Structure 1
Amino acid sequence: MTAPPGTGGLRSGQVAAAAGVNLQTLRYYERRGLLAEPARTPGGHRLYPAEAVTLLRVIKTAQRLGFTLDEVAELLEAGAHRHRRPDAGLRARAGAKLAEVEAKIADLRTVADALRLALDAGCDDLVVCAGERDCPLPFAGLAG
């Protein structure tokens, strides 16, 4: 993606298209401080540096990996400073996020197993099944 001749930057639509986001997302990230406020043309059009495309792709990828926008902001901030806390960088945060994801997977496996038991038992009515002594659904176990 190249900038319009003589502009020294990419317009909003170009950045959004190249990064695979919509204009509202681009502006929202700018308001949140994830993207620096861009320069403007004399006519008021925003001009972003080419690096903004990479930054947007990084943000979207981090979100797909399960990081919240607040966590992404912290990661970007930590990466911008050389003297940071040891627990602020990607390695520590990715390890913590992996632990969260693995815990969710374990919970989902428990839910899937319970649903398989209900299907195998032929449960058709949740309330009736709950009242059965040999109901396969662990109502108490899944409530927490």
Structure 2
Amino acid sequence: MSKPLTIGVLSRESGVNLETIRFYERSGLLPAPQRSAAGYRHYQAMDVRRLRFIRRGRELGFSLEEIRSLLDLAAHPESPCASADQMVREHLDTIEARIRDLQNMQAELNKIAGCQSGHAEHCRLLEALDSRDCCA
């Protein structure tokens, strides 16, 4: 067995901050660590790997419940990965919808950008928000 890691070392090695590590423990995403006689948490190298997995999943936008499912799937390598593929496809659909929404927002903001009015009375943004059309 390798030398146990402190929570500070685990944080540095995994790129996950201390409070998030504690949260993941409370939520069951990270197993409760062994404790020293003084009560200090002692982690193992596999905890670093697990936290990196969780962090990467979060970076890709997966929810904690989705990550929980993926961790379970990873723990059973003989299982089919159809559920993971379905999760990816659903996630892609959501992201594509968000991109479309952001592009629509960008187009609308481009229409009202560059207001030359010196007064709020004729501000393009305020007009757009208030559905006014006095300075088109």
Shorter-chain TM-score category?
Answer: 0.7 to 0.9
The aligned length equals: 129
Q: Percent identity?
A: 31
1-structure distance, mates of 2:113, 2:97: 24
1-structure distance, mates of 2:32, 2:128: 56
Aligned residue number for residue 83 of structure 2 = 88
* TM-score of the pair, normalised by structure 2: 0.78
Gaps of 5+ in 1: 1-5, 136-144
1-structure distance, mates of 2:49, 2:6: 15
Contact 1:74 1:88 in 2 (8 A): no
Gaps of 5+ in 2: 117-123
CA-based RMSD of the aligned residues comes to 2.8
Structure 2 residue matching 1:37: 3-state secondary structure: coil
Q: Does 1:69 align with 2:64?
A: yes
**Counterpart residue type for residue 125 of structure 1:** L
Matches within 5 A, 1:102-121: 102-119=96-113
* TM-score of the pair, normalised by structure 1: 0.74
Matches within 5 A, 1:98-137: 98-119=92-113, 123=124, 125-126=126-127, 130-132=131-133
Any runs of at least 4 consecutive aligned residues in structure 1 with deviations exceeding 4 A, and if so which?
82-87
Contact 2:33 2:41 in 1 (8 A): yes
Deviation of the 1:81 alpha carbon: 3.0
